[in-house]
Amino acid sequence: MNIFTRGETQIFTQPVLKINLNNLIDNYKTLCEIIAPATPSAVVKDDAYGLGAREVARALYEHADCRNFWVAHALEGARIAEVVPEANIYVLQGIGTDSRDLFEEYELIPVIASPEMLAFWKKNPIEGIEPVIQVETGLNRLGFRAAELKKLGKADLKIFGTVLSHLACADEKDHFMNAHQLANFEEIRAKYFPDLPATLSASDGAFLGADFCCDMVRLGAAMYGINTAPYRLNQMKNVITVEAPVLQIADLPKGEFVGYSATYRAAQNRKIAIVSIGYGDGIPRALSNIGKVFFKKKNKVFEARIVGRVSMDNVICDVTDVPELHVGDFGTLIFDEYTLDDIARDAGTISYEIVSRLGKNTRFVRKYDLK
């Protein structure tokens, strides 16, 4: 974006977060085909991984007929209930003293993962709601263990409407844990819940075949564009773009240092740009001296390496080789050719953490694209 009005430089200071809901809907529909005939459902916990749970849930509800949503906390369910009136909203962290009222008010469905939580439910049931039971099959996170399942009475087993487990290593197709967890899940289902619909897989499990898809798949990360099956090329479309304005362009003389703790020293004369985005906006500080800012010029994309530490409000990048760059131009930090997966790799983490963190910042100009 090169912005001149009658020769006058325009100055911008705010970063921009663009969320392409059309691509998100396309990803959801692609995933629906992959998992068919299993029922699709959408994971919009953590504010839809930071992208705005209300906007995402409404788009999926209205444009893709999604009728099943998963959140982590009851308050997240309450936030989307209004925009998905006829849908089931499942709450993964379950129900407790601090959230029961919300379950009742918004007709949320708890996932019950422990004998203690089941005892709480039995003392505080909500009429018309059939909870999900989570069973542990190898992740060793939430879920009834084998010994706990054994202690459930027949009346207890009848409380539930769905049985759920969660895979640990589904992003690695041939990992031994996948077959191990599937076998455990099938054994538990046969023994305790032969008549209940079952859900085992999230986005990553969707690519492991029909056995793993069971009756319902919980589609999350892949819908947001993340490659959850990194052993194959990503079939998903990119959903987010992050841009930030150039506040200043300056010469960096040979021998000078850049940024906090002087972690970059210019070996030759360089040119730098100060770009108005930082870790306060969710760009990880781990990208110091590693990350990239891209500039589109002359129908080409130029890559400018971040130099020095990422600071709270700014990154500094080496634009020596970027032609015709001006104050007021925008650099791009995430886009179709340098996606969440790419920035996460450079930052030494996973895409999920990047997007979850980015989207919550309120300094962005936030733009949703939905046709």
Which residues, 168 to 227, sit near its own copies by CB under 8 A? 168-169, 171-172, 175, 177
152 touching its own copies, by CB under 8 A = no
> Among 62, 65, 101, 116, which residue sits at the site for its own copies (rule: CB under 8 A)?
116
> Among 2, 250, 301, 323, which residue sits at the site for its own copies (rule: CB under 8 A)?
250
271 touching its own copies, by CB under 8 A = no
Measured at the CA of 216, the angle between CA 197 and CA 28, to 5 degrees, comes to 165
Write out the binding residues for its own copies, residues 121-150 only, by CB under 8 A: 123, 136, 138-143, 145
Q: Which is nearer to its own copies, 97 or 299 (CB)?
A: 97
Picking from 324, 337, 283, 371, the residue whose alpha carbon sits closest to that of residue 1 is 324
Q: Which of 45, 49, 61, 292 is catalytic?
A: 45
Q: Which is nearer to its own copies, 93 or 320 (CB)?
A: 93
Cis peptide before 125 (omega within 30 of 0): no
| Cα separation, 6 vs 23, whole angstroms | 36
> In this structure, what is the dihedral angle of CA atoms 353, 226, 90, 72, given to the nearest 10 degrees?
0
Structure tokens given for 352 = 């999920």
Active site residue 338: no
17 touching its own copies, by CB under 8 A = no
159 touching its own copies, by CB under 8 A = no
Picking from 188, 88, 183, 98, the residue whose alpha carbon sits closest to that of residue 135 is 188
32, amino acid identity: C
Range 78-83, long-range pairs (CB < 8 A, 24+ positions): 78/102, 78/105, 78/106, 78/108, 79/53, 79/54, 80/44, 80/53, 80/54, 81/106, 81/107, 81/108, 83/54, 83/57, 83/58
Site string for its own copies, 312-351 (x = CB under 8 A): xxx-x----------xx-------------------xxx-
Q: Minimum CB separation from its own copies for residue 71, in Å? A: 10
Write out the binding residues for its own copies, residues 20-49 only, by CB under 8 A: 45-47
Picking from 82, 83, 86, 53, the residue whose alpha carbon sits closest to that of residue 70 is 53
Active site residue 150: no
361 touching its own copies, by CB under 8 A = yes
78 touching its own copies, by CB under 8 A = no
Q: Which is nearer to its own copies, 5 or 299 (CB)?
A: 5
Catalytic residues: 45, 260
